[in-house]
Chains A and B, each alone.
Chain A
């Protein structure tokens, strides 16, 4: 499995990210780093406890990371959730959680699969 395959699996734009960051190694380094990022957990916990300020910051961070890594699919759902929370539309934000969760899981499993495939 190549990094490009991984990007296809997670719904990202590999050409865009490589064009920007130039080296596959750099892209790979940050893609693996994504696995360590705790923002999604923070978002989930904050939503559960209705701490919407913290939830906004967390999902906003996810959005920023996705932008930088060109994780298009996850970017879109995190962007939508960010927007909802910014507008204090908590119901809408809550309704978006399943989608966001799915996209996140898809992204993480694609990366993990790629990592295990030994290409990295």
Chain B
């Protein structure tokens, strides 16, 4: 083992030599002949040393000055200082202790005592440092695990919710920015840095109540009926209830308390027109107020299957006009003030996720703003209802052929297209009747919907044929997703017709191009898969047209 290092600071060479003689068997000893030299050695290599033996009376910079300097910069956090002096007047000893000396050894030096004193001191110091390190490591490990658990939890919610995992991260980032700006602006809300971090972390749980919302409602692409909307609205109270049912000692944890507030009240509005409790103004905890605004802002500025992403300016305008309910005016000011920070923070979030790839969103150019209602905010206008009738397949509730034709057919920057065809569908119709066939189609559509993200478009292309247009999806995820859809449908059972077994053949194409062309490739792949049934075939197009790589999954 490497010897511990001791620095001896004494202007008398004799005295240093004596100490070196006592110590150099056990320790690596370095000498300095005055305070200035000691400080200069320490300023460069202080972490090397475990102990400092310091004389008081020295030229240039005396022992007290050295001590004061060490104390000022907290260098004695990592090593102990033991004073050595011929002058052991009580005042001097007291002054040395006041200045942070750990111990005092007076002359004449008795080697045995000096060695013991020093080894005990070092032992104590080393032990303390080791304990500190252990605690710090445990703390950071725990922090990491906590964050991980929370992100797993929120990922589960999002997964079921069909949203991209980015929403949680973005709400977290926006919440943090808003709170920071809020504390810069006013001291109305006593928020420490720790509080800000707590609220931002807890914000990840804002939608956990959605776990309890039936999938048909949660992922319904069309407008929710008033009854369905009422069900949807229960998610905030349920989320908070779930947390309140935790064992008492867990409930007391600040993160749980804050998360519970956020869950319950992130749909409250400043004017009292929100839900579930219709709280007004400052009755709503600031945590929930901020997350509510972050949630709305992110919903507006992110792309969803029913709308493109609004710019910051447009989103802000809509929020300020009260289109998404009323918010705390102070928070609205904050939101306006943090535009720049937000755009960088949010870019960071998406870059971190590796989702910012070079593939353009397929539907980026199409204006179908506010085509469909989203969860909670809007009641459909007549125009929207009209659009819904126009573009939604009435049987399966996914997009219809018209929607595909008008919005995708001629797009040039499609990325991944999938054609799905039910196997032996005609037999089902023939054997069980058309009602059974319809139910099967609904089941397939729902199953496909539950396997894709909200940003992917599911279209009933015709009869028993479905098309999915994916955007921004990595190749490996694409592969896995198609396999998952196949497997899920393979396991699908229809309540009224338990004897019916359904399977699909899936053809996919991955690569950039015109939708029309990609569709043809995907359709071909589907026919190849059809030869085996219950099978997936994918063609990966490389960037250069003409070069193709084929691969299937099973």
Residue B230 CB within 8 A of the other chain: no
A20-B109, A21-B111 known; A64-B12 Cβ under 8 A: yes
Supposing A63-B86, A67-B86 touch, asked if A30 and B58 sit within 8 A by C-beta, the answer is: no
A19 to chain B, nearest CB (A): 9
Cβ of B11 < 8 Å from any Cβ of A?
Answer: yes
- Give the chain A neighbours of B58 by CB distance below 8 A: 57
Q: Are B15 and A68 in contact (CB under 8 A)?
A: yes
Check: B198 CB closer than 8 A to any chain A CB. Answer: no
Binding stretch for chain B, among A32-40, A92-100, A105-113? A32-40
Give chain B residues whose Cβ lies under 8 Å from the Cβ of A54.
59
- How many A-B pairs with Cβ below 8 Å? 56
Bound CA span A106–B57, Å: 26
In the assembly, what is the distance between CA of A39 and CA of B18, in Å? 16
Known contacts A39-B12, A64-B12; is A30 also within 8 Å of B107 by CB? no
Q: Could you tell me if B87 and A33 are in contact, using CB atoms closer than 8 angstroms?
A: no
- Does residue A88 face the partner (Cβ distance < 8 Å to B)? no
Cross-chain contact of A68 among B13, B87, B109 (Cβ < 8 A): B109
B14 touches A20 (CB 8 A): no
**Quick check: A61 and B18 within 8 Å, CB to CB?**
no
Interface magnitude class on chain B:
10 to 19
Are B107 and A37 in contact, with the CB atoms below 8 A?
no
- C-alpha spacing A103/B11, complex, angstroms: 23
Residues of B within 8 A of A64 (CB): 12, 15, 85-86, 107
- Once the chains are docked, how many angstroms separate the CA of A29 from the CA of B18? 10
Bin chain A's interface residue count: 20 to 34
Known: A26-B21, A30-B18, A57-B57. Contact between A67 and B12, CB under 8 A? no
CB contact under 8 A between A20 and B108, given known A34-B14, A57-B57, A65-B15: yes
Interface string of B4-19 (1 = CB under 8 A from A): 0000000111110110
Name the distance in Å between B109's Cβ and chain A's nearest Cβ.
Answer: 6
A77 within 8 A of B: no
Question: Residue A22 at the B interface, CB < 8 A?
Answer: yes
A-B pairs with lowest CB-CB distance, top 9: A64-B86, A67-B107, A67-B108, A61-B12, A68-B108, A65-B14, A20-B110, A60-B57, A37-B14
**B interface residues, Cβ below 8 angstroms from A:** 11-15, 17-18, 21, 57-59, 85-87, 107-111
Chain A residues packing against B (C-beta within 8 Å): 20-22, 26, 29-30, 33-34, 36-37, 39, 54, 56-57, 60-61, 63-65, 67-70
